[in-house]
Chains A and B, each alone.
Chain A
Amino acid sequence: MFDALEKTMMPLAEKLGKNKVLVAIRDGFLITTPLIIVGSLFLLFSNFPIPGWENFWTGILGNQWSSWFSNVSGAVFDVVGFLSCLGTAYAYGRELEVDPIQSAAVAVVGFLILTPMRMNVAGVADPLGAIDLQYLGTNGIFLALVVAIVSVLIYAFVSKRGWTIKMPDGVPPAVSKSFEALIPSGVVMLLFFFIRIGFEFTSYETVHNFIFEILQTPLKGAGNTLFAQIIYSLACTVFWFFGINGPAVANSVFAPISKVLTMENLNAFQAGKELPNIFTDPFSNFFTNYGGGGSTLSLVIVMVIFCKSERIKKLGKLSLVPGIFGINEPIIFGLPIVLNPIIIIPFILTPTINLLLSTAVTKLGIIPYTNGVALPWTTPIGFSGYLSTGSFLAVIWQFLLLGLGCFIYYPFIKTLDKQYLKEEAEASIRKDEEEDLSFDDLNFDDL
């Protein structure tokens, strides 16, 4: 069965992993991630889920205090589309081996060419020179990606054809580089110039409206279903069996969608509105997996408490603290999980069951929707549940799932435990006394 799986999964992983567009989108989001996390912390501070928090700080800092904080979070969230354009174009430029920062700059300009820059304001006769932030924020993410890819593709095409202005030797490299970028940038800007004009004659009026309606909304809808989330969850774990980092493969497809879903919740949370989506990044990070992919914190707990093999017990103890912070590398390679046909079963099952159950209790209203606040994925269980929902019930729920995971892992790790015990016993018989080799009485002659 695993051979058949390998034959279908491997080419898929290879295709996704080598597709430069998908790699650029995935890596581009990584550029915005730290900014979103810091922005989230500011937002979290101004909306901390403790009754009386706001009044307490108003008493000390005055009425305006929360707007100081939302200025910072808004500086990231309100332009997250714009930042995605910059990050993706940078990463794609790097993939296509053209100047990455020049790629990022020209893509950002292309994005702005497509963006309405005049705004009619009631009571003011002439339109103001202004950009409505809705174009640069969450609603603009997919357009930003499209613009980044198209503009860098053209930029690279023109550059590589050698359609550039070449400076004589002796001109400083920075200057000659700048001239080299001139014609490729011009072609990109000219293209977006025509695209913008073209769309003014359609019923969409702007490319923003067009992409939002025909691309972002349907893809978001498709990703915002339990079915899609199960596929995502399976991809994240099944690939690990073959030693492939599953989330890295899955995110190359899912990242734009989960980004939009998460940012929509974050925007709603910031505005104090009802949270629209279940399947956000925090939901997937903190309500389906504990201790890293495969929800291995449950496994580690069973290893420490119930296993008898010396190796498994020791590895369990060593993996407990990293596991609490979501790191399971010692388990993945040390147990191992890679190519281990026994442990891979609960490794796949546990997160999927967690996903189904967490979706159910969220839909039933027992735990709240996640607020979208981007906590680092290393945030320990308990803290993560509380900070991403503001609910103690959610914390209890996390620990219930952790316990359930222990039950799922138990029979499988015990099977492995027995096998390891047997091996350890056999090895100690072979060596007469114990299986540990001693390096103390070695013969170093003729070495």
Chain B
Amino acid sequence: MKILMIFDQIQAGFGGKENGDLELGGKMMPIGSANMFDKYLADVNGQIIGTLYCGDDFYLNNKDMVTKKLVAMTKKLSPDVVICGPAFNYEKYGLLCSEVGQAIERKIQIPVVAAMSVECTEGIAANKNNLTIVKMPKKGGIGLTDSLKKILELASLKVSDQPIGQFVKANCY
């Protein structure tokens, strides 16, 4: 299963909150917090083929353009699944995950798994019915490793076209 990650500046390893104006970019490899998945990828036969990233403030100021470009780039790279997250309680990044994730599924039919904590109210409210958003703890909270495994599990289910109803009911918003 080929996985594409979509990150904000913090998860991509390009600084903290103050660096939100980071422009859209991407690399053909796992970067930043993608390495957190390392240990669990083998279980789902997954491989991270690339990472797209965008500063959270840059996204908010250029939503249409960024969404369009991320969708087009995803299409070009044609992964089996896209992971938007983990967004923890970074609300602006959570919104990015929710809106971009939904756009990818709707426009190019590549499955998406998003993940954020309950604090990302706007992102969850926007698409909880038409995007699978995995529940996860806020930063520093308990249960991160568990939710990383869940993200991959759901990705694997979606890629192999298996029923996800029960999983979503138990683990998503």
Contacts and interface: CB of A to CB of B under 8 A. Distances in A.
B68 A427 contact: no
Given A327-B16, A439-B24, A447-B107, A333 B35 contact: no
Interface in A6-54: 6, 10, 13-14, 17
B85 to A, nearest CB: 12
Interface centre among A248, A315, A334, A435 (most CB of B within 10 A): A334
A315 B15 contact: yes
Nearest to A416: B35
A319 B15 contact: yes
Contacts of A333: 10-11, 13, 32-33, 88, 139
A447 B38 contact: no
A136 to B, nearest CB: 34
A393 B143 CA distance: 43
Given A243-B144, A423-B29, A442 B73 contact: yes
B120 to A, nearest CB: 16
A350 to B, nearest CB: 20
B32 to A, nearest CB: 5
A336 interface: yes
Contacts of B12: 334
A329 B35 CA distance: 16
Contacts of A382: none
Given A243-B140, A442-B72, A314 B14 contact: yes
A178 interface: no
Interface string B106-136: 0110000000000000000000000000000
A14 B142 contact: yes
A245 B68 contact: no
B11 A244 contact: no
Size range of the chain A interface in the assembly: 35 or more
Contact of B10 (A330, A426, A443): A330
Interface in B18-39: 18-19, 24-33, 35-36, 38-39
Interface centre among A245, A330, A338 (most CB of B within 10 A): A330
Interface residues of B, number: 45
A443 B69 CA distance: 9
Interface string A404-447: 00000000000000000001101100110001110100111001
Given A242-B145, A339-B145, A315 B27 contact: no
A120 interface: no
A340 interface: yes
A339 B76 contact: no
A10 B14 contact: no
B101 interface: no
B15 to A, nearest CB: 4
Interface string A389-410: 0000000000000000000000
A329 B142 contact: no
Given A244-B142, A427-B29, A435-B28, A329 B73 contact: no
8 contacts: A330-B10, A334-B10, A334-B32, A338-B36, A439-B26, A442-B69, A447-B68, A447-B72
